[in-house]
Structure 1
């Protein structure tokens, strides 16, 4: 690989920030230097692969032990996708430090955030990190959640199930990754108008339209609220946890 100098890159005479110099020093130790060819030897390649694996396993462990104080509701097991820093931004830069761990955690499961987190976000994603007993969701298990007839949304709600290992969609033969309020006319509903949704490798008999397949992957369900109302923003509404079906 060759790192080509371009107009988008800073010149050698540019005044770099101190943290930039630290990072560039670490890159230089691997042989990655601006304007010079990068030809890593086998030892360096092995170290870089191991570093990527170590980072992945660390973040998996971090999410399996998600800080309780960051949960959206203290008696539930959901975290908002939008985990802002103490300044309600997503830079994680403070006068005395850069919060590396929380920054890594936020950008591990998504890549694009607003500039600032308002008290009334236009969209909220509630990520299910564990079942109602506090146990991390597992591959190969079937889970269910009952969505009430009246959800705190001005537009619509949608349940999307991601792959917990990669934070990406779970693809299957059905290509179904999401069920939403737009699909209610196809689902079997409960007497009170609520709907029970299932997440797992197989659907309960007769409830295929209420099911999102996991295809052998570890699920990360995300309940998405589009146009959330004050009930969600002030937390008077609480979403039930997933439970084993």
Structure 2
């Protein structure tokens, strides 16, 4: 039996799918529970399919498995990992063929998470904050605008009693934590988030294009606001030679228009005279953006204030 036949004899396509889901779940657990020094490494490990190749990263997965092993709802996922020899407290020494399969599963899992994480809806539910804008939020959005939500912060569907897997994946492929303050609908408390993956025409945001985002007057942020850019590939900050920290906000004192609006320009080059309101992108690199309102005021949490979309400019 040749190597290819042995592969399919031992691991059919369903097994790869199960492993991908198990790896994805383990990585989300590990990234959430790992210390801040290795969270970034874990994210890159997931992207590169090497979560099982590094001792440090493997220990993080083992810690997650060990600390959660007594919770019944985790038993199925842990059972899938046990099938390939990943059991808390036991040595993990896969042969070369198994390691290659696990690496392929990790790569598949990461690609699955990236495909889910850029959607404006998950499982048929829209995540748009405003129905006529392209900004999204996984919790506070037009589909569920008030305090009562269909899921809790552990991503459990309240009515069905199950974990909303794809909504959780949508969150943790880009962001490693969530808290009550991040979804607060109490004026002056926490922060309000709006996330954009697409421009006004529905096209993915590209580092090759130039855009304008217009903020209406009186941005409802009692503390401050900011717009920050992130790499589409791995959700790290979109650092460029022009701007190492890719954020622009009220504390930077951008120039306002005479009627109180603020035009922010995003692109590979600053438009003439707009340097104070410019965020740099990088040609050839996709990105997404998060608008944060800290200490959100009533106009933010009742959705009456809404920013413009990313509009392409020449």
Question: TM-score, normalization: structure 1?
Answer: 0.85
Q: Determine whether 1:65 maps to 2:119.
A: yes
CA positional deviation for 1:157: 1.0
Unpaired runs of 5+ residues, structure 1, are none
Paired with 1:118 and 1:224, the residues of 2 have a C-alpha distance of 13
Matches within 5 A, 1:25-104: 25-67=79-121, 69-80=126-137, 82=139, 86-87=149-150, 89-94=152-157, 96-104=161-169
Kept after mapping to 2: 8 A contact 1:122/1:227: yes
Match of 1:141 among 209, 228, 231: 209
Q: 1:91 to 1:165 in 2, by over 3 A?
A: same
CA positional deviation for 1:205: 2.7
Paired with 2:136 and 2:185, the residues of 1 have a C-alpha distance of 16
Number of residue pairs aligned between Structure 1 and Structure 2: 239
Kept after mapping to 1: 8 A contact 2:128/2:135: yes
CA positional deviation for 1:114: 1.1
Compare 130-139 and 69-78 and name the one that shifted more.
130-139
CA positional deviation for 1:221: 1.1
Compare 51-60 and 14-23 and name the one that shifted more.
14-23
Q: Determine whether 1:112 maps to 2:112.
A: no
Paired with 2:102 and 2:132, the residues of 1 have a C-alpha distance of 40
Q: Determine whether 1:124 maps to 2:192.
A: yes
Q: 1:189 to 1:15 in 2, by over 3 A?
A: closer
Match of 2:219 among 122, 132, 151: 151
Q: Determine whether 1:208 maps to 2:278.
A: no
Q: Determine whether 1:171 maps to 2:239.
A: yes
Higher relative contact order (CA 8 A, sep 6+): 1
SS of 2:173's equivalent in the other structure is: helix
Paired with 1:15 and 1:158, the residues of 2 have a C-alpha distance of 40
Paired with 1:219 and 1:169, the residues of 2 have a C-alpha distance of 9
CA positional deviation for 1:131: 1.1
CA positional deviation for 1:20: 2.5
Question: TM-score, normalization: structure 2?
Answer: 0.67
Q: 1:98 to 1:206 in 2, by over 3 A?
A: same
Q: Which has the higher helix share?
A: 2
Give 1:181's aligned residue: 250
Residues 185-244 of structure 1 show CA distances to partners (whole Å, capped at 9, x for unaligned) of xx4442323222111222213322221112232121111101111111111112111111
SS of 1:155's equivalent in the other structure is: strand
